[in-house]
Amino acid sequence: MMTPLDNISAAENFMTVLREGRMIRGAYNDIADDGRHLACAYSAAVSGADTTKNCPAAVMPQEVADLTPWIDDAGTACTCSADSGSLEDRAKTCTWHRNLLRYGTVMARWHVLSPDDWTGILRRFRGKCCVSALASAAKVVPPDAPYWPSVQKASIAISDRLLRGEEPSEAEAAEAAKAAKAVVAARVARAAVWAAVAARVALAAVCAAAAAVWAATWAARAADADALIDHFLTLVETAVAKREAATREAMRAEMIGINQSRNRVGKSRAGRLLDGREWNEMPGALT
């Protein structure tokens, strides 16, 4: 009977493909000239997948699955030569390899995250997408453009809310929709296209279903995708490290309780025993 796929086994699949140099961009799967199977980041994790739909929940949330091909494709392309050395060596100089190494490494650890943790991560990422899109649009949109104030107002309100880990209100969502319609109605100058990017990102950021990938795709047209990918990975890594630290602390507290009971000593002395200090001394000799 086949073992159900989880994030740890998916990460092993992913890292195998990455280390063997079989990771590709722009397609889910392909066959190399030498007959080797090539796979994108998502298909490497969920072996042979040709869509991110119906991702196994034990591997990653659906919204993260939808983001994964973007993480693979949107950033700087691989700059390594065929003889660039190990994966770790390549990651030192190649942004693409560095991002994918970070992604595969944290994938193996992210089972510690709760649904609420993921919700917070994805909200903050969507907020960052809004900030990036608005900043890039501001460089090209005339400050006196009639539609620009509404785009700025809606984007800032939504990004501020999301960056705090909160969901935008219905009123803020309505303002974003209104701003997006105003840009479309303007139909002027190419700068309006960039304003539309910012407005659509703000509007997409309020949507619950796959909003992160939608927002990121648009924001990448107006900002450096590498910075957004780095931001997403940092959010996940930080949340995982925090959960792991909390787990270690809880386990330590439990062990201190066990030592305290077995050795009939106080909590501080039990902690010293747990740390291996004066382990061979009689409990009464501890000071």
Q: Please state, in angstroms and rounded to a whole number, the distance separating the CA atoms of residues 278 and 286.
A: 7
- For residue 179, the one-letter residue type is A
Q: Please state, in angstroms and rounded to a whole number, the distance separating the CA atoms of residues 129 and 43.
A: 25
pTM to 2 decimal places: 0.81
Q: Pick from 215, 207, 245: which is nearest to 232 by CA?
A: 215
Classify residue 25 as exposed, middle or buried by CB count within 10 Å of its CB (0-12, 13-18, 19+). Answer: middle
Structure tokens at 5: 């796929």
- For residue 12, the one-letter residue type is E
Q: Pick from 219, 211, 200, 194: which is nearest to 129 by CA?
A: 219
Per-residue model confidence (pLDDT) at position 225: 84
Are 255 and 261 spatial neighbours (Cβ–Cβ below 8 Å)? no
Per-residue model confidence (pLDDT) at position 280: 46
Q: Please state, in angstroms and rounded to a whole number, the distance separating the CA atoms of residues 163 and 8.
A: 29
Q: Please state, in angstroms and rounded to a whole number, the distance separating the CA atoms of residues 90 and 97.
A: 6
Per-residue model confidence (pLDDT) at position 152: 86
Q: Please state, in angstroms and rounded to a whole number, the distance separating the CA atoms of residues 127 and 204.
A: 11
Per-residue model confidence (pLDDT) at position 1: 43
Phi-psi region of 229 (alpha: psi -120 to 50; beta: other; left: phi over 0): alpha
Place of tokens 């949109």: 141
Q: For 96, phi and psi rounded to 5 degrees? A: -60, -50
Q: For 26, phi and psi rounded to 5 degrees? A: 85, -5
Per-residue model confidence (pLDDT) at position 209: 41
Q: Pick from 287, 261, 262, 284: which is nearest to 272 by CA?
A: 287
Phi-psi region of 282 (alpha: psi -120 to 50; beta: other; left: phi over 0): beta
Per-residue model confidence (pLDDT) at position 134: 80
Per-residue model confidence (pLDDT) at position 43: 97
Structure tokens at 286: 């501890």
Per-residue model confidence (pLDDT) at position 210: 42
Q: Pick from 168, 44, 63: which is nearest to 113 by CA?
A: 63
Per-residue model confidence (pLDDT) at position 272: 60
Beta-bridge mates of residue 30: 38
Q: pLDDT digit of tens for each residue in the chain (287 aa)?
A: 456 799 999 999 999 999 999 999 999 999 999 999 999 999 999 998 999 999 999 999 998 998 899 899 888 888 787 667 889 888 988 999 999 999 999 999 999 999 999 999 998 988 888 888 787 777 777 778 887 888 888 888 888 998 999 988 888 888 887 877 776 666 555 555 656 666 666 666 665 444 444 455 555 554 478 888 999 999 999 999 999 999 888 887 777 677 666 656 565 665 565 555 544 444 444 44
For 273-277, the CB contacts below 8 A with 24+ separation are none
**Which residues have a Cβ under 8 Å from the Cβ of 277 and sit 6 or more positions away?**
none
What mean pLDDT is reported for the chain? Answer: 80
